[in-house]
Chain A
Amino acid sequence: MKALIKLAAILFALCFAASTLAAADIEANTPGVTALKQSMQARHAQLAGYYASGAVGLTADGLIAVRDANAIPLASRQAANALVAAENQDRNALYAEIAQANGHPEWQGEIRSTFAQRWIQRRQPGWWVQSGGVWTQK
């Protein structure tokens, strides 16, 4: 009988410790996240010009999209499309990887919307954002 009460107390203490630990932080330092960050960082050098010219913008779901293909020279349009597709693949993988690393794959959607807000808030002046099908400029 006393053992049962002790067990309940220990369980409670463990759960409490685990929940405060889990709530305090988000694990985002896995090798997978690092690799994705580096890949995205390298790609950003090429994408930055497209963001600035308005050819490419950010979307409300944490991805990027071609906004105005005419702003891209015909010769590099295909390469730009490939860049956007590769960036979106990395971003999707990043959100999934962070959710996975925290043991909560179901958090992927929340992580995505957190990132979407932060990408949008921290973008540079002149960059475009698509929300509800409408493009707006900072």
Chain B
Amino acid sequence: MDKTWVVLPVAGVVLAACVTINIYFPAAAAEKAADKIIDEVWQMQKSGKPGTNPEAPHTTDTVKETK
């Protein structure tokens, strides 16, 4: 029965660790979200329209990111 005294603290530590993990700020995702909003507000995507800019295909690989 004294196992309870092992499991309870362990569960507590696990919970605390989870809380710690969850408060990390996802900086990379925030940057991506910011870029998307900035694109829309400043309407930057229109300068990358195919045909108007010969360098457009060159820049697409930096935009595309796999998760």
Contact = CB atoms under 8 A, between A and B. Distances in A.
A135 interface: no
Interface residues of A, number: 34
A19 interface: yes
Interface residues of B, number: 34
A5 B7 CA distance: 7
A114 interface: yes
A122 interface: yes
A25 B11 CA distance: 27
A118 B18 contact: no
Interface of B: 1, 3-4, 7-8, 10-11, 14-15, 17-18, 21-27, 29-38, 40-44, 67
Interface of A: 1, 4-5, 7-8, 11-12, 15-16, 18-19, 22-26, 28, 33, 37, 40-41, 44, 94, 98, 104, 107, 110-111, 114-115, 117-119, 122
